[in-house]
Amino acid sequence: MRIVTAMSGGVDSAVAASRMVEAGHEVIGVHLALATSPATLRTSARGCCTAEDSGDARRVADRLGIPFYVWDASADFRRDVVDDFVAEYAAGRTPNPCLRCNERIKFATLLDKALALGFDGVATGHYAQISVPGDAMNTTGRRELHRAVDPAKDQSYVLGVLDEEQLARSFFPLGDSTKARIRVEAAARGFGVAAKPDSHDICFIADGDTRGFLARHLGERPGKIVDETGVEVGDHEGAYGFTVGQRRGLALRRPAEDGRPRYVTGVDIAANQVIVGPEEMLGIDVITGESARWCGPPPVGELRCGVQLRAHGQEIPATASVDADGQVTIRLARRTRGVATGQAAVLYDGTRVVGSTTITATARG
């Protein structure tokens, strides 16, 4: 098959490309230019997609003897990921930009362009597995998305936005490996990126200062921090800079009477208020979601499943149902804390990813 391999300049995508070549596919490497003015050099392990990364990817492609191209996706990335990220925070929600990037850039912009150019699919360095009918783990008789074998590196959560048609054209050649094995393999192939640090945090906020990034885009909007009774206990420079479950950075001028720590329990953008309370107020066990993305047919009736609420969070036993309007209701088997609107809830049936939904509300059942 003719395959486009997304090459970020890191060790994972380098080995993914080499494995696709060894499997006998006709491969080209593509580096997505996501920033209009990328940094010339990486200054830390944060971020990705810099000019330095493009050079690292090109050197790997040259070593593999495959064509290499840089595709400019900066306008799409700015509109669909960065601007969406800012808008979600401005509305008091907590988005996951990696899911949005996978949904709208890597498996929309990139995949659509690859197919338009006559390629058969896209391969990436994500740690996840694709199961085809006939595999031992396959339960539905169609192409399925499963967790990677290495739970520490599993990235199926951020791929839960892929639909059945996208999965049919996607390849994840690292899903059967550990990160340690990938680095050994890269070194054996002579790749200079074998020991390159992993990227962390949000790629377009290279310094890791999310609140500062939002302040630059949204401006300062001073307001009050109040407790669960409405009493003012502090000030803030922008409610958009807080998320449910947060404790650090509150700088409350009035401590709780019992001396216990307080956490953000809500963000009221309309009133420009941040609400804080004791830890027990964070616990919820009912989630409502919309904009569901299914990795196959949507569930019918009540589905017993596992739910993951963060990229590296624990799976929680639950039941889920979908109503006629596509709204998803998830009932958790145990209360969990720090769940914010805007986050993704990804549903699992064993290791299989069923789909995902964007959280719009939480409650106690």
48 has catalytic annotation: no
CA 48/CA 37 separation, integer angstroms: 13
CA 285 remoteness from chain centre: 22
Strands 352-363 and 344-349: antiparallel
203 has catalytic annotation: yes
Write out the two tokens for 75: 């306008």
CB 100 within 8 A of CB 79: no
CA 120/CA 108 separation, integer angstroms: 14
CA 184/CA 181 separation, integer angstroms: 5
CA 243/CA 210 separation, integer angstroms: 11
Element (H, E) at 362: strand 352-363
HSE-up (13 A, CA, CB side) for residue 220: 5
DSSP result, 197-218: PPPBS-TT-TT--HHHHHHHHH
Write out the two tokens for 6: 């997304």
48, 49, 98, 101: the active-site residue? 101
Active-site residue list: 101, 203
